[in-house]
Amino acid sequence: VKKKVMSFFDMYTHNMCRVSVCVPRVVLGDAMANAAEIGRLYKEACREGAAVVLFPELCICGYALDDLLQQDAILDECLEALRILKKVTIDCRGLLIVGSPLRITGRLYNCGIVMAGGETLGVIPKSYPPNFREFYEGRYFISAAAAPPETFWLDNDRKIPFGNHLIFKCIDNPTFCFGVEICQDVWVPIPPSTYQALAGATILLNLSASNITI
């Protein structure tokens, strides 16, 4: 097979990577509307040559839902929104990383979901849900540390890797290797991204959001 010759002026020739950080206008509790906006911004970033397109924490449903996060109607719609976005990635080359609540083995996690090529590649749960001042995620979410060993997310009967230890590496370019953590995780003395970097990650991604308007 003839190897593709890349232009000298292509940033990927020089082992550089374009990462897009997108901030959608989120509609609280309306996962379908949010999926449409996320899909639009994702496609736009891919057209601009992004290899990774990162969205905020809990962008599928909105951060400030409080006890509504535990409602089946909200969680079911989030799953449908994720299915829609997974299909959107079929025709685009960029990785899509979004935030959503996920209920796994009866426990609710604040997760980052990595998608590409019409597939879900992995799910990263938040390690340190804040439970102070205006934040009380401990009311709804379980920490990644509390997940039983060998936990996975079942997506259409396919076992999806789950955990804060996951590292994603590009087959065609091994130097393109990234890890994912969520918001508060980066503020602890030794965040998950430290271990990810030691394990070989060259890009560290953090999904963040807040219930405070600035």
Q: CA 198, 108, 153: angle at the middle one, nearest 5?
A: 65
- The rounded radius of gyration (Å) of the Cα atoms in the chain is 17
The set of residues, in sequence order, having a beta carbon less than 8 Å from that of 18 and lying 6+ positions away, is 11, 48, 49, 50, 51, 52
Active site residue 177: no
Q: CA 168, 169, 175: angle at the middle one, nearest 5?
A: 135
Q: Which two tokens stand for residue 99?
A: 């935030």
Active site residue 80: no
Active-site residue identified among 92, 126, 137, 181: 126
Active-site residue identified among 22, 59, 78, 183: 183
Active-site residue identified among 57, 77, 137, 181: 57
Active site residue 183: yes
The count of C-alpha atoms lying within 13 angstroms of the C-alpha of 171, restricted to the half-sphere facing its C-beta, is 0
Question: For strand 95-104 and strand 52-54, is the pairing parallel, antiparallel, or unpaired?
Answer: parallel
Contact 109, 70 (CB under 8 A): no
Closest CA to 179 of 163, 160, 190: 163
Closest CA to 32 of 75, 89, 80: 80
Closest CA to 95 of 166, 177, 163: 177
Mind telling me the catalytic residues? 57, 126, 183
